[in-house]
Structure 1
Amino acid sequence: MKTVGFLKTLGSVVAMVAACNVYAQASAPAAASPSAAAANVKAGKRANHELGRKVRAALTKTQGLDVSNIAVRARGGAVTLTGSVPSQGQIDAAGEAAKGVAGVSSVSNKLTVMQQ
């Protein structure tokens, strides 16, 4: 009788250890997840910054465009242009130049005309 009780207890302990081991293995990737999420955020910010630099370079190379008062913001392929330019033609030229950059999915052109 004592042997049966001992085996029942031993079986319970083995089942508990196995359950804890499975739980620990399932939780291990979740513990590494915050660092992976941080790396993804950094990579996204880096990609947005690089896209913004490419758009600014394209605007600078556009003939007849005054880029001194234009700000560029990129987020996930969507580019927003803000600021002011001297004429409507420059607003259109800035939008077209931004659309022509590789990686730009959409352009929100919020430029305004302001005589200098």
Structure 2
Amino acid sequence: MKAVQVTKLVAGALVVFAAINAQAQSSDVDVPAQPSNKQEIKAAKNADRLLARQVRRALSKSKDVSVSHITVRAKNGAVILQGSVPEQQQVDKATQIAQTVPGATAVTNALSIRPTGH
């Protein structure tokens, strides 16, 4: 009778050990995927920052646009212009300039016209 109980105990221990071993093996597969995802996110953020700087630089080189109150943001190639300029021609010109920057896939112009004297 004791031999049967010992056999059951050993078999149960083997099943538990096999389950733990299988669990440990399956979790190892997921680990390498996480750093590459973080690296991709970091690379995308860096590309967005670079694009925003390039658009801002292009705007500042233009004598037709006052960039002192303009904020440039970029997300996955889409450029967003925010802030204010003194006149409508600058709103239009800012959009045209941003569209010419390599890497800009879309431009959203949220610029407003600020009252004179501000």
Amino acid at match of 2:108: S
Q: Tell me how far 1:79 sits from its aligned partner.
A: 0.4
Amino acid at match of 1:111: L
Q: Tell me how far 1:85 sits from its aligned partner.
A: 0.2
2:52 matched to 1:52? yes
1:104 counterpart SS class: coil
Which segments of structure 1 move beyond 2 Å, counting only runs of 4 or more? 19-29
Q: Provide the residue aligned with 1:83 in structure 2.
A: 83
Taking structure 1 as the reference length, what is the TM-score of the superposition? 0.77
Among the aligned pairs, what percent are the same residue?
40
Equivalence map 1:19-98=2 (5 Å): 27-98=27-98
Amino acid at match of 1:41: I
Q: Tell me how far 1:48 sits from its aligned partner.
A: 0.3
RMSD between aligned residues: 2.7
Give per-residue Cα distances to partners, 1:42-99, cap 9 Å, x unaligned: 1011000000000000100112210000000000000000000000000000000000
Q: Structure 1 regions of 5+ residues with no counterpart?
A: 1-16
Q: Structure 2 regions of 5+ residues with no counterpart?
A: 1-16
1:107 counterpart SS class: strand
Q: Tell me how far 1:107 sits from its aligned partner.
A: 0.4
Q: Provide the residue aligned with 1:12 in structure 2.
A: none
- Report the Cα distance in structure 2 between the residues aligned to 1:92 and 1:86, rounded to whole angstroms: 12
